[in-house]
Amino acid sequence: MEARERYTDRRPYAVPDSLSELTGPASGHVILPTALDWSQQRRYDLAADKDRRRLYETVIREACAPADLRRFLNAGLLQRLWPTLWLPSRLKTAWEDRFPELRSLQ
């Protein structure tokens, strides 16, 4: 039996050129556009751990362009959250291949 290809196996993911370009907010509230989050609760409170993780997982998974990553992600916050984020393995590998320092945070 031939294995079926899944969308997640071929979906293109955005990865920034450098972590330093991730200059998004590190505090306050963030409201994602529907292109990134089509749920009814698109508002995230960066003071709440659960919201921070959900925001970062959503943006990293759904961003189609590095501009989305730059707008909504903050490099320092990303590095603190990285070990706790649940991401598709191919996506996580793409980020860790580009930024080996993320792999060492595990």
Instruction: Please report whether residue 7 resides in a domain.
Output: no
Please report how many Cα atoms fall inside a 13 Å half-sphere around the Cα of residue 78, on the Cβ side: 30
Over 60: is that where the pLDDT of 1 sits?
no
Instruction: Please report whether residue 105 resides in a domain.
Output: no
Instruction: Please report whether residue 8 resides in a domain.
Output: no
Instruction: Please report whether residue 80 resides in a domain.
Output: yes
pLDDT tens digits along 39-73: 888 999 999 999 999 999 999 999 999 999 999 99
In this predicted model, which residue has the larger pLDDT, 2 or 102? 102
pLDDT tens digits along 3-35: 777 666 678 899 999 999 999 999 999 999 999
Instruction: Please report whether residue 37 resides in a domain.
Output: yes
pLDDT of residue 35: 94
Instruction: Please report whether residue 14 resides in a domain.
Output: no
How far apart are alpha carbons 1 and 42 in whole angstroms?
Answer: 41
Quickly state the pLDDT bin for 2 (edges 50, 70, 90).
low
Q: What total number of domains does the chain contain?
A: 1
- Domain, as residue range, for 57: 21-89
Instruction: Please report whether residue 32 resides in a domain.
Output: yes
Instruction: Please report whether residue 26 resides in a domain.
Output: yes
Q: What is the pTM of this model?
A: 0.90
- Name which of 68, 78, 20 is nearest 46 in CA terms: 78
pLDDT of residue 40: 86
